[in-house]
């Protein structure tokens, strides 16, 4: 179905150039879902393309608003890009959205209160609970959201959780998991984790999916349509490849991403284990939780 994004957004053309069929929505209709993406990842255009690729594969009309923080200036995006394509949170705080996606950020080793934009982010978390039908908190944002609302702590891992891992689904009858296989694969790339015992001890949270290797994956706040997702279902096929080879080139301590390259050989192509599931996940979210 058609997708409307800020005019001229380079990420849209990048998704089309990959061979994805994207119809441009000219004017929103009564059926159009208003979705906001609060993008706090450093490589803005890559993250934009990741989510546009998934949203464009759904059967819903979508108007996408790219959000930026008022109290943070990105280091890896040009001021021109941010000014042209992004809307400040202060400009939409009186608006309502059908869905909100809050991305992760590579700041997981920093204490939340030491993050310069933490106060504004907490304001956005509170605003979303009143003004957004359903919110997806992704990776670091899932940890941050659970900490802000429930006081659940993150914990440093002895080494990076890095690769594609199998996950089980606790409640396959939920609309979010319609069409899913019993075992799904999900990319993870993080230095911290949430402890399962902390999640199940919080009666206001329901654990929906997890992995014996990479831990908790999807959680839902009971009585709401808000989901906390620790993995990166949105990742493109070569994202982990880029991360691995970048760190190798910098002589940083990094292990081969697990279950990713064919025959676990970085000279081989990655195996696409997760993208079909990712399309289902986001399509089900839009269809069953955003309206």
What confidence score (pLDDT) does residue 21 get?
A: 82
Rounded to whole angstroms, how far apart are CA atoms 5 and 225? 24
Q: Single out the residue of 288, 137, 140, 152 nearest to residue 220, CA to CA.
A: 137
Rounded to whole angstroms, how far apart are CA atoms 291 and 277? 21
232 Cα distance to chain centroid: 6
- Show pLDDT as tens, one digit a residue, over the chain (291 residues): 689 999 999 999 999 998 888 888 888 998 999 999 999 999 999 999 999 999 999 999 999 999 999 999 988 889 999 999 999 999 999 999 999 999 999 999 999 999 999 999 999 999 999 999 999 999 999 999 999 999 999 999 999 999 999 999 999 999 999 999 999 999 999 999 999 999 999 999 999 999 999 999 999 999 999 999 999 999 999 999 999 999 999 998 899 999 999 999 999 999 999 999 999 999 999 999 998
Q: Single out the residue of 55, 92, 74, 77 nearest to residue 10, CA to CA.
A: 77
Rounded to whole angstroms, how far apart are CA atoms 190 and 229? 13
Rounded to whole angstroms, how far apart are CA atoms 224 and 136? 12
73 Cα distance to chain centroid: 20
Q: Single out the residue of 244, 246, 235 nearest to residue 272, CA to CA.
A: 235
Q: How far is CA 58 from CA 92, 135, 278, 286, in A?
A: 25, 17, 11, 8
Q: Where are the beta strands (DSSP E) in the chain?
A: 3-4, 33-38, 62-68, 87-88, 97-102, 132-138, 155-169, 183-193, 205-211, 215-221, 227-229
What confidence score (pLDDT) does residue 76 get?
A: 84
The class level of CATH for 3-238+274-288 reads alpha beta
What confidence score (pLDDT) does residue 246 get?
A: 94
Instruction: Count H helices and E strands in the chain, helices first.
Output: 9, 11
Rounded to whole angstroms, how far apart are CA atoms 45 and 6? 13
Domain spans of the chain?
A: 3-238+274-288
Tokens of 277: 């599931």
Rounded to whole angstroms, how far apart are CA atoms 156 and 59? 39
Which residues does the annotation mark as catalytic? 139, 232, 234
Rounded to whole angstroms, how far apart are CA atoms 268 and 256? 12
Tokens of 261: 């390259």
10: helix, strand or coil: helix
265: helix, strand or coil: coil
Q: How far is CA 32 from CA 86, 132, 291, in A?
A: 20, 15, 10
What confidence score (pLDDT) does residue 27 get?
A: 87
Neighbours of 37 (CB within 10 A): 23
Neighbours of 146 (CB within 10 A): 24
Place of tokens 């009971």: 222
Tokens of 253: 């301590």
What confidence score (pLDDT) does residue 284 get?
A: 98
What confidence score (pLDDT) does residue 1 get?
A: 63
- Dihedral (CA of 45, 50, 51, 55) sign: positive
């Amino acid at each position: 179905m058609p997708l409307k994004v800020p005019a001229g957004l380079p990420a849209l053309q990048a998704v089309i150039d990959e061979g994805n069929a994207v119809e441009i929505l000219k004017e929103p209709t009564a059926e159009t879902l208003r979705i906001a993406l609060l993008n706090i990842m450093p490589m803005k255009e890559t993250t934009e393309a990741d989510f546009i690729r998934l949203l464009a594969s759904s059967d819903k009309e979508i108007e996408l608003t790219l959000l930026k923080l008022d109290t943070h200036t990105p280091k890896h995006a040009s001021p021109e890009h941010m000014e042209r394509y992004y809307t400040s949170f202060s400009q939409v705080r009186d608006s309502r959205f059908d869905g909100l996606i809050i991305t992760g950020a590579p700041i997981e080793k920093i204490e939340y209160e030491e993050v310069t934009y933490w106060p504004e982010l907490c304001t956005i978390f509170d605003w979303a609970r009143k003004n957004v039908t359903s919110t997806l908190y992704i990776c670091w944002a899932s940890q941050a959201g659970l900490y802000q609302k429930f006081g659940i702590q993150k914990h440093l891992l002895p080494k990076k959780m890095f690769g594609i891992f199998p996950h089980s689904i606790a409640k396959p009858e939920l609309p979010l998991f319609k069409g899913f296989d019993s075992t799904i694969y999900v990319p993870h790339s993080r230095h911290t984790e949430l402890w399962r015992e902390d999640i199940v001890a919080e009666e206001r949270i329901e654990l929906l999916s997890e992995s014996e290797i990479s831990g908790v994956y999807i959680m839902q706040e009971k009585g709401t349509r808000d989901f906390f997702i620790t993995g990166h279902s949105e990742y493109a096929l070569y994202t982990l490849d880029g991360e691995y080879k970048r760190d190798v080139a910098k002589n940083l301590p990094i292990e081969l991403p697990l279950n990713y390259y064919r025959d676990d050989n970085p000279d081989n192509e990655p195996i696409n284990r997760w993208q079909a599931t990712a399309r289902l996940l986001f399509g089900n979210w839009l269809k069953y939780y955003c309206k």
